[in-house]
Structure formats: structure tokens, C-alpha cells
Amino acid sequence: MHSFTFLLTLGLALPGVHSIPSESSSTDRLSAARALPSGDLYPPQPPGGGPGKRGLLYSSESNPDWSDFYIGSSYVTYGSNGDVVRGDEIDNTWFSFVPTIVVDAQLENSIWNDTVPILIEGGTKALFASNEPDNPLEANLTPSQCVTVYQRYMQPYHGTVQLGTPAVTNGGGLAGLTYLEDFIQLCAGCAYNFVNIHFFIDRSEMNVTQYIQALKLYIDVNVPAIQAQHDSLTGLPIAVGAFWLTGASEDEAGDLMDELLPWLDDNDNVLFYQAAGGLFEGEFVNAAGTGLTPAGTAYGNLGP
């Protein structure tokens, strides 16, 4: 249950910003990803190919056995852990891997340049740019810093794999889509293959029906309106890099998935998506760690 406690803590710490991903705190939960195992064979499926638009969020704190439920599901084809180090938490013959650029205070990542070509050779088809640079508790970069990171670590791979924009929150003010616009305007010569957005709202603010309506509006109207104003974004598909109705009960989260996932799959403008927090207890796995929740079952299309 630690992840829900964690979410609540973040929610309180960041008033006015709705988007609080449970895969947060890359320093604590994600940077402990273990070393790349030798002899990795990465599967060929690209994110967004066929029905397999779904990704699993995981970290070294996840129980890797849980990903086994999804092996063979044509819906779940890749994983990501907020890091460039894949780790061995999820099966590497079924799941493709999408690395995420994280940088130190000097805006450097000492292993990205060496690791990404190996991942691409192994089947990686997409790269995630900075994770919530508009969130003080996540990548926390100014738009200008975020541009430096993009130009240094993402842009060199344009034309080789699919590149996401920095994944912004659905926060208001200078965060969210406003941040994305600031970044886009500063990032001279930058090119992207998909717009990466996160969408978190707390259950205390809306119910499942309302959340689905809000997310549909965001994907169909709000994000395209921003895209239409910037040549470098026009016509790009959208990735929903992380989303959740934070604090929803297990049954509510199951209802949310049942209704939302088919819509996301059928929406040609949605390239791929990842529900948060994926392979964590209280989210896709029940609190006792003994089986999948209704949401976890729906995610793999594993229901009766």
C-alpha cells in the first residue's frame, strides 16, 4: 500500500497541480533499477503496434513475477521504469522497453549515450524525454534546461526511434500544456514523433465517469488545440505516458479501465499509454500481493 500513501503525500505537497504520478520520486523508487542483464533479447513489437498500446510501469520495487500475468497478452507490449537501465524486473522476451532520460544537476546522464544504442539494437522503438519537468517533485527543470536535455540526449536519435516530447502534467498555471508550449518555442531544431502527456486527478475531485470525460476532452480537444498552434507538434499522435484516478477504490479503478481502455485503443490519435502505477500493490496487484486487481485484470484483457 506504500504507493497510495506516497500519492497522498505528494498530493498534499503540491497544491494546484493535479498530476501526481505514482511512479514518482525517481530517486527513491526507480533509480534502484538493476543492471542490464546479459544476453537480453528484446521483443520486436513497437509500442502502438496493433492492439498492443499498453505499457507497464515498474521499478525494482515491483515484484517482477507480476509482469508474468501479462506475458502473451497482445494488449501489453512494453514496459518503462523512468530510467535508461532496463533492469530485469519484467520479462525481456515479451516486453519491449522504453527508456526515460533522467539527468543530474549538470543536466548530464553518464550512461545514456552508451546504453541507448544497445537498447535500440535489442528492440527499443521509442524514447521518453524528461518525466514531468514541470513538477518540482519529478524532473523539475526549467523549460530552458529541458531544452538542453532534449537537444543533448533525445534529438540525436530522431529518425532512428520514436521520440516523445517531455511528459508534462495536467497541472495549471505555468505547468502542463503551458510548460509544453514554452518548451516547444525554445527548442530550436527539435523534432518529435509523439506528444507525451500525463493525466492525474484525485478521486476527491471527481468520480470515474467525470474522470473519463475529462481525459477524453484533454485528448480530443485540449492537447490538439495546443498542437495546432505549433508546427513541430501538428499532426503528431498522443501518448498518455501516465494516468490514474488517484485514490480510486479497486472496484472503481476496474470500472475506469473497463470503460476507458477500449476508447484509448480505438482512438487512432492515441499512440500508446501506461496506467499508473502498474505493477504495484494496491494498483494492478491487490494489497495482499496475491493476485491482480480488477484494473490489473482489465489491463491485460485477462477477464472472464
- Residue 255 identity: D
Residue with cell 544476453: 39
Which residues face 197 on adjacent strands? Answer: 168, 240
Residue 129 binds ligand NAG (CB under 6 A): no
What's the Cα-to-Cα distance from 225 to each of 56, 73, 207, 233, 302, rounded to whole Å?
Answer: 29, 34, 26, 10, 36
Q: Please say which residue, 107 or 137, places its beta carbon nearer to ligand NAG.
A: 107
Helix axes 250-266, 208-217, angle to 10 degrees: 30
| C-beta closer to ligand NAG: residue 27 or 113 | 113
Among 110, 185, 213, 229, binds ligand NAG (CB under 6 A): 110
Q: How far is the CB of 26 from ligand NAG (least distance, A)?
A: 18
String of b and e for 202-229 (b: at least 16 CB within 10 Å)?
bbeeeebeebbebbeebbeeebbebbee
> Alpha-carbon distance 180 to 5, whole Å?
29
**Helix, strand and coil percent figures for the chain, each rounded to 5:** 35, 15, 50
Do the beta carbons of residue 283 and residue 295 sit within 8 Å? yes
Least gap, CB of 214 to ligand NAG (angstroms): 11
In the complex, minimum distance from the CB of residue 153 to ligand NAG, in angstroms, rounded to a whole number? 6
Choose one: 98-106, 139-147, 208-216, 283-291; the region binding ligand NAG (CB under 6 A). 208-216
Contacting residues for 295 by C-beta, under 8 A, at least 6 apart: 250, 253, 254, 256, 257, 275, 283, 284
Residue closer to ligand NAG by CB (options 65, 108) is 108
Provide the minimum distance between the beta carbon of 136 and ligand NAG in the complex, in angstroms, as a whole number: 25
Distance, CA of 167 to CA of 80 (rounded, Å):
13
- Mark the segment that binds ligand NAG (CB under 6 A) among 57-65, 106-114, 167-175, 223-231: 106-114
Binding mask 66-105 for ligand NAG (x = CB under 6 A): ----------------------------------------
| Contact pattern from residue 148 through residue 177 relative to ligand NAG, giving x for each residue in contact according to CB under 6 A and a dash for the rest | ----x---x---------------------
Contacting ligand NAG (CB under 6 A), which of 144, 207, 213, 229? 207
Note whether 196 and 236 are within 8 A (CB): no
Which position among 28, 65, 108, 205 is part of the footprint of ligand NAG (CB under 6 A)?
A: 108
Shortest Cβ distance from residue 8 to ligand NAG (Å)? 22
- How many residues touch ligand NAG (CB under 6 A)? 9
Does residue 210 interact with ligand NAG by CB under 6 A?
A: yes
Among residues 27, 74, 185, 209, the one that binds ligand NAG under rule CB under 6 A: 209
Report whether the peptide linkage leading into residue 172 is cis, meaning its omega lies within 30 degrees of zero: no
List residues near ligand NAG by CB under 6 A.
108, 110, 113, 152, 156, 207-210
